[in-house]
Amino acid sequence: MSPIRSFRQGSQLITRQGARRFAEICETHGIRLIPQFQALGHQSWAGTTFPLLTVYPELDLTPGAFPGNEGIYCREWDVTNPRVNEIVFPLIDEIVDAFGADGIHLGMDEIFLLGAEESPHTKGQDPAQLFAQVVNEFHAHFVADGGLEMFMWGDRLIDGEVHSFGEYESSLNGTAPAVDMIPKDIVICDWHYEPAPAYSSIPMFLDKGFRVLPSSWRKVKGVEALAKYSYSLQHPNMLGHLFTTWSRLDPERLMKYPPLQAGVETIRGGKFYDVTFDPKPIGPDHRLTLRLATQRQDLDIHYIIQGPDEEPGMDRQPSRQDAHYDGPFELTQSANVRAVAYLQNAAVSDVTQKLFVLHHALGRPISLTEPASEKYRARDGVATLVNGVTGSESYGDGQWVGAEGTGLEAVIDLGEPTRISTVTARSLNSRASWVHQADRVLVEISDDGTLFEPIGSIHSPDMEDTIVRHVVTFDAVLTRFVKVTFPPRIIPKSRAGAGNPAWLFVDEIAVE
């Protein structure tokens, strides 16, 4: 299983002669060349509609709707119009011939408009049937008749209700059942950009008989996590790793592209079996039960527990002389836990570290005034905010509760009058994705859960840190209910998406 590199065409046209020359260079260096054609979706970007639908506007899936492309992600072509295939098939055939390719990547990602009210020809129809129809038509022409190997993105085939990747990396609009309606000889490029301890869609595709090519982008930690998880499966149909850039890089920058370098180093290093943590709060005494695991059952796990403020030795890798994991154990106070998996005397994982926070609100009932976003679901729903686990730098790791432009307001029931003096929370910055830290946090208290009075607040200026810690302190008070409010924000000027409502992601709300 070797790494596979992916390149994106720039804005300049490619001549047949240029395509042939490029193909010859690839052949000389042992590189298999597979062109990509963006099929069905991505027929526009922002306010620009691309040539297929400007030259042939009758092929638009939602004609006349969304002027200026406002209110949609991208335009899509009309899957019911036979003219699409009459135009597109010869175009792709020409591309394949020019490059002398034996495979074709047909895109098919981020489809949102099939069956929509604004689509006169597919309104009310099953999006999965429509999506599968397109895939099968492509397969019949390019694979059955053309003898090519077919690649496509996998997000529309992943049920977002089962696999919590959000509305882009998985489907929340009904296309996922198409996974059982299409040929199994298609290579599924399963793309995930955020770091996570596991990527459940990969074994799902493998179990269904597909060959899978996990695909990453710009986040180094995301590349490393995806490569480790997929290679740890040791499955013959896991083909390797697809590195994407989604921007034009000159050769010098490409060879120094950090995600590519980190990913190749991770694959060559072979340390695929990072330890995962499964915490469970127990009882009224603010304790946490912690389970450790790896992808392989025959590995030994060794770990270190240190206080959250202890610095000496925190960069040390747990050795075989440190505590050996032989079953779930309890944490009775906040702690940093570091763990490594060993096969005999060799470490077969990197160090996994997680901060666990034990506090008065751990495992207590919590509610939100307005529901959190369903697009990126937290592992334990709103209870994730008081489960004792801090989030990573990824809003998709299941430990962040998200709000799309609405802010968050949480009410915690401590169960009985409790003396408190500090509320601590963290919010996330991922500005390229329109995710911005909280700029204010307000704390209120109540004896009955109905009438609240302010007790403290903090203003947090914009910081460059990915994770921003907010600490609200006040004179000690006795209270049962605590309300913590993170007001909504508008994306500031000079930032991507300026003027739009910002995403907010909050992890553990610690009440002490």
Q: Please check whether residue 498 lies inside any domain of the structure.
A: yes
Q: Quick one: 315 and 332 in the same domain?
A: yes
- pLDDT band for position 317 (cuts 50, 70, 90): confident
In-domain check, residue 300: yes
Residues 113 and 91 in one domain: yes
22 and 135 together in one domain: yes
Domain check: are 184 and 70 in the same one?
yes
Segment 353-357 shows an average pLDDT of 91
Domain that holds residue 502: 366-511
Are 154 and 211 members of one domain? yes
Q: What is the mean pLDDT of the chain?
A: 92
Note whether residue 110 is domain-resident: yes
In a domain, 361, yes or no: no
Whether residues 170 and 318 share a domain: the answer is no
Q: Which of 249, 269, 289 is the last residue of a domain?
A: 269
Residue 417 sits in a domain whose CATH number is 2.60.120.1190
Looking at residue 505, its pLDDT comes to: 96
**38, 41, 45, 86: which is closest to 60 by C-alpha?**
41
3-state class of 244 per DSSP?
A: coil
pLDDT at position 96 is 97
Is the pLDDT confidence value at 310 over 70? no
Give the CATH number for residue 37.
3.20.20.80
CA distance 434 to 246: 18
Establish if 199 belongs to a structural domain: yes
Per-residue confidence (pLDDT) for residue 11, from 0 to 100: 58
What's this model's pTM, rounded to 2 decimal places? 0.84
pLDDT, one tens digit per residue, over 58-77 is 999 999 999 999 999 999 99
**Is 52 domain-assigned?**
yes
Share of the chain above pLDDT 70, in %: 96
Answer whether residue 261 shows pLDDT above 80. yes
Residues 106, 84: Cα–Cα separation, whole Å:
14
Q: What is the mean pLDDT of residues 234-254?
A: 90
Give how many domains the chain has, as a whole number.
3
Q: Which of 323, 356, 389 is the C-terminal boundary of a domain?
A: 356
Which pLDDT score, from 0 to 100, does residue 148 have?
98
Residue 408 and residue 491 in one domain: yes
Same domain (yes/no): 38, 91:
yes
Is the domain of 222 the same as that of 306? no
Q: What is the mean predicted confidence (pLDDT) over 458-471?
A: 93
| 394 in Cβ contact with 196 (< 8 Å) | yes
Q: Tell me: the pLDDT tens digits for 137-178? A: 999 999 999 999 999 999 999 999 999 898 999 999 999 999
Q: How far, in Å, CA of 138 to CA of 150, rounded?
A: 9
The answer to whether residue 285 sits within a structural domain is yes
Angle at 501 between CA 495 and CA 507, to 5 degrees: 90
Residues near 161 by Cβ (< 8 Å), separated by ≥ 6?
A: 172
Give 130's DSSP letter: H
What is the per-residue pLDDT for 250? 82
Q: How much is the average pLDDT of 301-307?
A: 93
Q: What is the mean pLDDT of residues 250-263?
A: 89
What mean pLDDT is predicted for residues 213-230? Answer: 95
- pLDDT number for residue 395: 87
From 106-110, 132-136, 387-391, 441-445, the region with the lowest mean pLDDT:
387-391
Task: Check whether residue 251 and residue 281 sit in a common domain.
Answer: no
Among 247, 269, 291, which residue terminates a domain?
269
Tell me, yes or no, whether 263 and 284 share the same domain. Answer: no
Over range 50-63, report the average pLDDT: 96
Judgement on whether residues 373 and 478 belong to the same structural domain of the protein: yes
Confidence of residue 10 (pLDDT cuts 50, 70, 90): very low
295 belongs to a structural domain: yes
